[in-house]
Chain A
């Protein structure tokens, strides 16, 4: 018995070593543009991770169905990391070896861990709607692209929206706004912006952290009952959101006074509470649930109708599915833009894709032609602005579906710019990075 198990152990170890070595050595030279996909289809956040991943991959399939990027087909591979930072880094190393040219970690923790590695490996890091807020400053964060919005944008717009509802930002004086946040870098990101806004308008900010994964919130909502804030901002992810809504229902806090970040505004967050979450509002990263958009119809026709859909058909067009799809789209467009400069129909390198992402210019006409009419507004990045757009809408849950609002908000550019520059300069100083000058940017 013992010898047998010893033999088993030895053979396992041997196979492990050989397969690890060979699997990284393969793939190295492919005639396809390789897209790594970090996903979490298991674990505490799987309900939200799944539709995102399906949307991401479906869009890559759609691009291939349409003939690739100027003829260059896209290949991709998933790596499951369960929202754990160390496994995420392992996935990054694994997929990097297979020729990755753009990474999207879908986790603020992993983004922080990879920010130092990306410049060394020369792989751009796209964090659409998450990541480090100060990485908007592309002169310091050369390889980070928080496209479409950061948490500081979200926090800024959230206060603007609450102010508008109250009848003007000056009416916020003396009010109490509570932030119920996931106790991780993701949840803590908006705090500096909210504190800044609290100073400007004279409202009181109450910080209520919730420990991962967020199923235990009784104490938090007891505090809300005691403090009676006028508004609650919900900065949650996964099961934390539905738990918070259930607790709000139990404590009788009006759902109309709750405003979620865009990661707290998808179907899995409210489905379980259904009618109990009626009136709950959430920010959107431009798009809401878009089942009627042209790109979704294309998707159903060209991918799902042929039986190549990644997930269920019903999920296509839901909020997180669209988020994954758009994240995928901006990365693909980065490659397309890079091809304009470095040769159409060629496989781009990480450095070339970085240039493409930095010079992304998706005007409304292009977006409409791609089927994103009504879904997105233009995105234009530059060396100094790696975000490209700060448009935000607010959507409301009507008990059975998300209804996008008609108002479009934009972050206060002056305020945002100042904070971004202060934080990015501090980072540059710590890391001894010399920010790129406008001349260097043009290269």
Chain B
């Protein structure tokens, strides 16, 4: 009743092709972004910022990158953690080795380095696909894990192998307080989110999707698989690399290679699978699910136990957290194999028919 586009006439091609053609969607998105920029900083406390919101925003960005490659171009990757690490260490090296390097430039250069490495490690995708490609990208993960542990130059000869960054300065704005870090991450995510959305609507995104759906057919209609696949690897690695640099710089502040282990790669892949392959909004759902749910369970279970009058030990909570989390993943994959984004789309469809479903 409310969510219906009746009476919204489009009089130009521009209006027809805009990102959110339905006015309600447009206003909802603007309202959410405005709320995130204005409302959240007023409401959230430091714990929310540092432990939940900032990790959520950064991992959303990484999931967005992985989704471009896996969801839109159909190339499975298990090396996302490695590309996050490349972004983080490259940005770190640019920042400390070049005098007066601005923060934003360091982050973007980290992303570009990651993109270049993405192209190199994407070359096997020209020959192999599916699970075989996943194994090839896993090699990238192990190689970079090894490199950042062993090659001292990358960590500026730090004896412990741990590097740290502080005094983040964004064009004179000292990104220091949790709320400022949140706003910085949010700003980056909004820019990259719109970039990703537009990329997938443009010719390059359509090429990726053609390759994903059937690469032989795509080649027949004149799409160059090499260009399409490698550009997907490059763009995806760029997003993931920037996210990695932000994870190190903004969220952790000081990190070791274990922060970008193979677990991180799996985590990112699960995010896009649970959130919804080939969906921008799905990346956000997936990131929220994987970042927030374990922490929520960890805090909620003792409270629940107290309500029914039993005290649960820390170990039991931790085990229960893993069990419930795993069960929920299986549950969602059975109920909706296309991910949370599909649930969202379905509910929007239903909303349009409400209250008179047929």
| A64 interfacial contact with B, CB 8 Å | no
Contact of B45 among A21, A90, A189, A431 (CB under 8 A): A21
Q: What is the interface residue range for chain A against chain B?
A: 35 or more
Q: Mark A92-134, 1 if CB is under 8 A from B, else 0.
A: 0110110000000000110011011100000000000000100
Which residues of A are found within 8 Å of B162, using beta-carbon distances?
109, 112, 185
Question: Is the pair A12, B161 in contact by a Cβ cutoff of 8 Å?
Answer: no
Stretch at the interface among B86-94, B132-140, B229-237, B312-320: B312-320
Bound Cα distance A212, B162 (Å) = 16
Selected interface stretch from A78-86, A290-298, A396-404: A78-86
Shortest beta-carbon distance from A2 to chain B in Å: 6
Q: 9 extra interchain contacts, Cβ-Cβ under 8 A, other than A12-B296, A19-B299, A20-B296?
A: A2-B346, A5-B331, A24-B48, A80-B317, A89-B252, A97-B47, A185-B162, A188-B159, A188-B160
The chain B residue with its CB closest to the CB of A7 is B347
Contact count A vs B, C-beta below 8 Å: 132
| A6 interfacial contact with B, CB 8 Å | yes
Q: Which of B294-342 contact A (CB under 8 A)?
A: 295-296, 298-300, 303, 313-315, 317-319, 331-332, 335-336, 340
Using a CB-CB cutoff of 8 Å, which residues 272-309 of chain B contact chain A? 288, 292-293, 295-296, 298-300, 303
- A41 near B314: Cβ-Cβ < 8 Å: yes
- B interface with A by C-beta (< 8 Å): 45-48, 50-52, 55, 149, 159-162, 164, 166-167, 252-256, 258-259, 288, 292-293, 295-296, 298-300, 303, 313-315, 317-319, 331-332, 335-336, 340, 343, 346-347, 350
Q: Is A42 an interface residue (CB 8 A)?
A: yes
Chain A 1-34 interface mask (CB, 8 Å, partner B; 1/0): 1110110010011011001110111000000000
Q: Which 10 A-B pairs have the closest CB atoms?
A: A41-B315, A16-B296, A185-B160, A93-B51, A78-B314, A80-B318, A90-B51, A42-B318, A24-B47, A112-B162
Bound form: Cα–Cα A21–B51 in Å: 12
Do B332 and A6 touch across chains, with their CB atoms under 8 A apart?
Answer: no
A188–B161 touching, CB < 8 Å: yes
Closest to B156 in A: A430
A66 within 8 A of B: no
23 contacting pairs across A/B (C-beta < 8 A): A3-B350, A5-B332, A6-B343, A15-B296, A16-B296, A21-B48, A24-B45, A41-B313, A41-B314, A80-B298, A85-B258, A93-B46, A93-B47, A96-B47, A112-B160, A115-B254, A116-B166, A117-B253, A185-B160, A209-B149, A212-B258, A423-B159, A430-B164
Report A-chain residues with C-beta under 8 Å of the C-beta of B340: 9
